[in-house]
Structure 1
Amino acid sequence: MLNRFFGPKTHDNINMFAVFALAVGIPVSKVVMSLATLILAVNFLLNADFKGAWERCKKNFVFWFVILVLAFHLLGLLYTTDMSYALRDLNTKLPFLAIPIVLIAYPIKERFLNYVFYGFLIALLITSFVNIKFMLGNEAEDYRDFSLFGSHIRYGLLIVTGTLLSIYLLLQNRKMWIIYVILISWFSYYTITSQVFSGYVALLFLLLGCFIYFIKTVKSNSIKVITAVCFLSILGIGVFKLYDYLVPDEPFAAFKNLPEYSENGEKYFNDTTSLWFENGHHVLSLIAGNELEKAWNKRSEIDFREKLDTGYDLKGILLRYMTSKGLTKDKAGMASMSDQDIKNVEQSMSSIRHTYGTFESRLAGLRNEVFHYSIGGDPDGNSLLQRFEHWKTGKLIIKNNWLIGVGTGDLQEEFNQAYILSNSQLDEVHWNRAHNQFMTFWISFGIFGFVVFTGFWLWFLWRNIKLNNLIGICFTLIAIGSFLSEDTIETQQGVTYIAFFLGISALMNFWKKNKEQIIKNE
């Protein structure tokens, strides 16, 4: 339509602008994402090449998957009771319908794709600098507060995707290697520093995707075998070590063998009714208060009973810090404290974990959470423990609604009722949904919805591996990894990210297939 008034390339140019704006908008702003999606869809409709669009779409499996997802949501309206929630959910999912279909039906030129990636990387680089600057210049108790551009979890996925695009562009243009190596290093540093566990998982899935791509690319069978053995060995050892580290040690919770007296003869205070632990060790036990006070006052100018500059009692900080090191809270334990440990306590450092590196500190925090949960502790305020409760509640709902689910709009209401029936320890403010996209589809649309959704992503992974599409392989693995611990497509930034890179991956596969066909015909 607009081509008649402004020239034959008008719709093509608008299409390319909208795709570029969408790539920039995903890490930056919901407003930019929304406007870019709207421009993309309206331009497609005004172009009105529906016959050509249908020819491109009807042979593309991704198109039919998107249509099926829409069909499940529409059918789910027939047996839902909360229509208001259902309509909001449909509105949130609109990008999942519009973006992949337009990218498939009205594809951009292949030569323009790298510019789209440049836009995404520049936007991601700028926003990540802003986040890091804010992180270093402000104190916050919760690392999640440092993400200024949407959810810290979704932003963590974008950062890992930035690493993927940098690797892809590096392989395409070795002359610019220094720029892409810097980007890869920066995004990896951000992932580790941000302490977003789902970001760590996404990074591992990215490495797995790169490994698969390498195996597919290398011609030598011997190199393939050696690489596979090394990678799988490292992966196996890493998983075993991680499991061994995170799984709680039983002796920590056994109070029956606690000694009654310290080495110097003072009777220990042992409160075995408390579930207060620090770094896997019990805080309110093995406390010889008198000798601990004397031993502390000999080593510090701050009195044992004083308050620190932060307003906390020194005694409480000291007990927690010594506990985190696995020390008895007595004269002998104080003798094991280094001068640096004394300074740490004086600076209100309540755990040895705070001296660890960022990654190790996050793992230690997760270990604490798992241990706390295993002894019946309150899961509120701990992201991993809350997920355990969400998954447990989700399984209960599936058990009662496994065939057709609860419909498009009753998801939250069903969870609310299930939390009540199961006497969940979670506070009502944390009565969230499944935090698992596969489980959410099953709960909403039954076994058929689950099979279609899960089956598609497994097929799409296989398809990308077959075509050796690095972007497609790694994106699919990152998406699957995020689906295991998040309802990724239930938020605007998450659904737009998934829809955009799903469409881009499908488009790249289309180009690869066409090239293979041309070579075969020759």
Structure 2
Amino acid sequence: MLDRLLGFKIHDYLQVLGILILAFGLPMNKVLMSIGTIWLASNLLLKADLKSYWNRWKPSVVFWFILAVLAFHILGLSYTQDFGYAFKDLNTKLPLFVIPIAIIGYPIEKRYFNLILIVFLSSLLITSGINFYYMIFHPWEDYRTFSLFGSHIRYALLIVTGVLVALYLFLQKKKFSIIFLLCLIWFIIYTVLSQVLSGYIALSFLSLGIFIYFIRQISSRFKKTIGISLFLITIICGVWFLYAYLSPDNRELTFGELPKKTEYGNIYYHDTTVLWYENGHHVQSFIAGDELTEEWSKRSKTSLKDTTSDGYLLRDILIRYMTSKGLTKDKNGMQSMEAKDIQNVENGIASIAHTYDGIHRQMHQLKNEVFHYSVNGDPDGNSLLQRIEHWRAAIHIIENNWLFGVGTGDLQNAFDWSYENIDTRLDKENWNRAHNQFLTFWVAFGVFGFIIFCVFWLGLFVFGLRNNKLLIIGFSLIAISSFLSEDTLETQQGVTFIALFLGLFSLYQNFFFQKDKDSKKL
């Protein structure tokens, strides 16, 4: 419509600008994401070229998948009770219903594709640089606070996607290849430094995809066999190392033989009913409160009755920290604490493992959580144990609603009911949804929704493999890795991430049932 009024193709430029806003805003903030989504929807409606839209939508696998997901959400309204939650969920998922359809229905010229990717990388460089600066000057803060522009989990996915995009541009743009290589290296370093487990998992999935992509480029059967063999050996050794490292100790915990008094005659406090461990050591045992207070006052100007910025008692931090070092919480244990340990406790660090760097810290935390699980420990505060409880609750719902699910709006109500029925030990404030997008789809929309969701994403990956499309292979694996541990489509940043790159990559790498007659434009 505006093309005719203004005498030139203004809608083409508006479409490019809308996608650029999304690409730049995705790592930045929700406002830019919302503006970009509304922009694309408005431009599509104002252009009003329905016949051309339909001709481009018909052969698109993504279009029919989005339509199926929307249909499940609408049908789910017919047997839901909590319409407030249902409409909130639909509102959250609007980017998924708008962005891919707008991009596929009104494609921009291919010459803008790399520009969009470069703008996305630029935004990632700016935000990751600011995060890194904050990380350097706040070394003792919770690593989750290092992501200043949204959830640390979703941001980790964007950074790993940055690795994929930088690699793609490195292979495409020979003139500026060194710049994209440096970006690739920086995003890998940032992923390691950020200490986000989902980021490590996504990077591992992406590495697998990149290996498959390059191994298919090798024509020599001998070289291909050698490459695959070395890769499999690496995987096997890695799995063996993880198993050996994470396996809990088999030592027996003989609580009945615990000493009643310290070396100085003071009574020990032991609470063996609380299965709480730090670094493999029991927290609520070998505690001599008076000795701790007396020795602490000699080493620090702070009081154990003080609280940290997070609201935790310094006394509790000290007990956890000493436990993590394998020390008794008494005079002898305090005398074994170094000056650096005292400083760590004053800074609110609750475990010696929290002072480790990068992957070492995350691996140690995971090892501690596996140990908790092996002794039937308290799941609260342990991300792995909490997820296991979330998955248990989801499976319990599926067992009772496997065919059609609980509908669009009754997800949280169903989970609340399930947690009560499985006698979870999670505090009620942690009664969350599945933290697994595949399970969430089954809970909400039954077995048919689950099958369609799984078939699409596996189909996207297989398409990438068969056609050797790097962006499709990498993106599908990053998305699948996020779906395994998170409800990625339940947040604005997560759903916008999936929507934008699903639309872009499927369009420009020809994920269609048949060749689009307008594909020469792409």
Q: Residues 305 and 315 of structure 1 are in contact (CA less than 8 Å); yes or no, is this contact kept in structure 2?
A: no
> What amino acid maps onto 2:340 in structure 1?
N
Please give the TM-score of this superposition, normalised by the length of structure 2. Answer: 0.88
1:308 pairs, out of 297, 300, 308, with 300
- How far apart are residue 324 of structure 1 and its match? 3.0
> What amino acid maps onto 1:155 in structure 2?
Y
1:347 pairs, out of 340, 343, 348, with 343
| Secondary structure in structure 2 of the residue aligned to 1:347 | helix
1:429–1:141 CA distance, 2 compared to 1 (3 A): farther
| Match of residue 255 from structure 1 | 254
> What amino acid maps onto 1:448 in structure 2?
F
- How far apart are residue 65 of structure 1 and its match? 0.7
Q: Does 1:479 align with 2:479?
A: yes
| Match of residue 159 from structure 1 | 159
In structure 2, what is the Cα distance between the partners aligned to 1:266 and 1:209? 62
In structure 2, what is the Cα distance between the partners aligned to 1:453 and 1:316? 45
| Match of residue 445 from structure 2 | 445
In structure 2, what is the Cα distance between the partners aligned to 1:221 and 1:267? 73
1:414–1:222 CA distance, 2 compared to 1 (3 A): same
Counting only pairs closer than 5 Å after superposition, residues 290-309 of structure 1 correspond to structure 2 as: 303=295, 306=298, 308-309=300-301
- How far apart are residue 459 of structure 1 and its match? 0.5
- How far apart are residue 190 of structure 1 and its match? 1.6
1:372–1:465 CA distance, 2 compared to 1 (3 A): same
Q: Residues 22 and 32 of structure 1 are in contact (CA less than 8 Å); yes or no, is this contact kept in structure 2?
A: yes
| Match of residue 495 from structure 1 | 495
Instruction: Decide which moves more: 132-141 or 309-318.
Output: 309-318
- How far apart are residue 268 of structure 1 and its match? 10
- Give CA-to-partner distance per residue, 1:100-123, whole Å, 9 cap, x none: 112112111111111001110111
> What amino acid maps onto 2:150 in structure 1?
G
| Secondary structure in structure 2 of the residue aligned to 1:405 | coil
| Match of residue 367 from structure 1 | 367
- Give CA-to-partner distance per residue, 1:393-428, whole Å, 9 cap, x none: 111100100000000010011111112222221222
Q: Residues 18 and 36 of structure 1 are in contact (CA less than 8 Å); yes or no, is this contact kept in structure 2?
A: yes
> What amino acid maps onto 2:57 in structure 1?
C
Q: Does 1:8 align with 2:4?
A: no
> What amino acid maps onto 2:338 in structure 1?
I
Instruction: Decide which moves more: 34-43 or 495-504.
Output: 34-43
In structure 2, what is the Cα distance between the partners aligned to 1:114 and 1:399? 46
In structure 2, what is the Cα distance between the partners aligned to 1:256 and 1:426? 25
1:446–1:274 CA distance, 2 compared to 1 (3 A): closer
In structure 1, what is the Cα distance between the partners aligned to 2:301 and 2:6? 68
In structure 1, what is the Cα distance between the partners aligned to 2:443 and 2:511? 36
In structure 2, what is the Cα distance between the partners aligned to 1:379 and 1:200? 22
Q: Residues 260 and 267 of structure 1 are in contact (CA less than 8 Å); yes or no, is this contact kept in structure 2?
A: no
In structure 2, what is the Cα distance between the partners aligned to 1:515 and 1:266? 84
| Match of residue 459 from structure 2 | 459
| Match of residue 145 from structure 1 | 145
In structure 2, what is the Cα distance between the partners aligned to 1:102 and 1:289? 64
> What amino acid maps onto 2:344 in structure 1?
S
Q: Residues 281 and 324 of structure 1 are in contact (CA less than 8 Å); yes or no, is this contact kept in structure 2?
A: yes
In structure 2, what is the Cα distance between the partners aligned to 1:513 and 1:175? 35
In structure 1, what is the Cα distance between the partners aligned to 2:303 and 2:276? 21
- Give CA-to-partner distance per residue, 1:336-383, whole Å, 9 cap, x none: x6xxx6232232355432442221111111221222233232222222
Q: Does 1:407 align with 2:404?
A: no
> What amino acid maps onto 2:162 in structure 1?
G
1:305–1:277 CA distance, 2 compared to 1 (3 A): farther
> What amino acid maps onto 1:308 in structure 2?
S
Give the number of the structure with larger relative contact order, counting CA–CA contacts within 8 Å between residues 6 or more apart: 2
Instruction: Decide which moves more: 422-431 or 20-29.
Output: 422-431
Instruction: Decide which moves more: 47-56 or 303-312.
Output: 303-312
In structure 2, what is the Cα distance between the partners aligned to 1:240 and 1:91? 44
Q: Residues 317 and 345 of structure 1 are in contact (CA less than 8 Å); yes or no, is this contact kept in structure 2?
A: no
1:333–1:137 CA distance, 2 compared to 1 (3 A): closer
In structure 2, what is the Cα distance between the partners aligned to 1:454 and 1:38? 29
| Match of residue 504 from structure 2 | 504
Q: Residues 467 and 509 of structure 1 are in contact (CA less than 8 Å); yes or no, is this contact kept in structure 2?
A: no
Counting only pairs closer than 5 Å after superposition, residues 375-390 of structure 1 correspond to structure 2 as: 375-390=375-390
| Secondary structure in structure 2 of the residue aligned to 1:28 | coil
Q: Residues 296 and 334 of structure 2 are in contact (CA less than 8 Å); yes or no, is this contact kept in structure 1?
A: no
> What amino acid maps onto 1:454 in structure 2?
C
- Give CA-to-partner distance per residue, 1:449-476, whole Å, 9 cap, x none: 0000011100110011111111110110
Q: Residues 467 and 512 of structure 1 are in contact (CA less than 8 Å); yes or no, is this contact kept in structure 2?
A: no
Instruction: Decide which moves more: 42-51 or 315-324.
Output: 315-324
> What amino acid maps onto 1:346 in structure 2?
I
| Match of residue 88 from structure 2 | 88
Counting only pairs closer than 5 Å after superposition, residues 192-271 of structure 1 correspond to structure 2 as: 192-251=192-251, 254-255=253-254, 271=270
Q: Residues 268 and 285 of structure 1 are in contact (CA less than 8 Å); yes or no, is this contact kept in structure 2?
A: no
In structure 1, what is the Cα distance between the partners aligned to 2:31 and 2:434? 27
Q: Residues 77 and 409 of structure 2 are in contact (CA less than 8 Å); yes or no, is this contact kept in structure 1?
A: yes
1:222–1:428 CA distance, 2 compared to 1 (3 A): same
In structure 1, what is the Cα distance between the partners aligned to 2:16 and 2:315? 63
Q: Residues 437 and 483 of structure 1 are in contact (CA less than 8 Å); yes or no, is this contact kept in structure 2?
A: yes
1:171–1:346 CA distance, 2 compared to 1 (3 A): same
Instruction: Decide which moves more: 306-315 or 407-416.
Output: 306-315
> What amino acid maps onto 1:236 in structure 2?
I
In structure 1, what is the Cα distance between the partners aligned to 2:516 and 2:241? 43
In structure 2, what is the Cα distance between the partners aligned to 1:130 and 1:103? 31
In structure 1, what is the Cα distance between the partners aligned to 2:414 and 2:193? 37
1:326–1:221 CA distance, 2 compared to 1 (3 A): farther
| Match of residue 308 from structure 2 | none
* % identical equivalent positions: 51
Q: Residues 373 and 385 of structure 2 are in contact (CA less than 8 Å); yes or no, is this contact kept in structure 1?
A: yes
1:425–1:289 CA distance, 2 compared to 1 (3 A): closer
- How far apart are residue 276 of structure 1 and its match? 3.6
Q: Residues 318 and 345 of structure 1 are in contact (CA less than 8 Å); yes or no, is this contact kept in structure 2?
A: no
| Match of residue 23 from structure 2 | 23
> What amino acid maps onto 1:246 in structure 2?
L
1:67–1:310 CA distance, 2 compared to 1 (3 A): farther
In structure 2, what is the Cα distance between the partners aligned to 1:330 and 1:427? 31
- How far apart are residue 285 of structure 1 and its match? 5.1
| Match of residue 299 from structure 1 | none
1:412–1:320 CA distance, 2 compared to 1 (3 A): closer
In structure 1, what is the Cα distance between the partners aligned to 2:40 and 2:34? 10
1:96–1:368 CA distance, 2 compared to 1 (3 A): same
| Match of residue 110 from structure 1 | 110
| Secondary structure in structure 1 of the residue aligned to 2:254 | coil
| Secondary structure in structure 2 of the residue aligned to 1:306 | helix
- How far apart are residue 307 of structure 1 and its match? 5.7
1:316–1:431 CA distance, 2 compared to 1 (3 A): closer
| Secondary structure in structure 1 of the residue aligned to 2:378 | coil
Instruction: Decide which moves more: 394-403 or 367-376.
Output: 367-376
- Give CA-to-partner distance per residue, 1:219-277, whole Å, 9 cap, x none: 222222111111121122212222332232231x5216968699x99999583444342
Q: Residues 379 and 386 of structure 2 are in contact (CA less than 8 Å); yes or no, is this contact kept in structure 1?
A: yes
Q: Residues 276 and 282 of structure 1 are in contact (CA less than 8 Å); yes or no, is this contact kept in structure 2?
A: yes
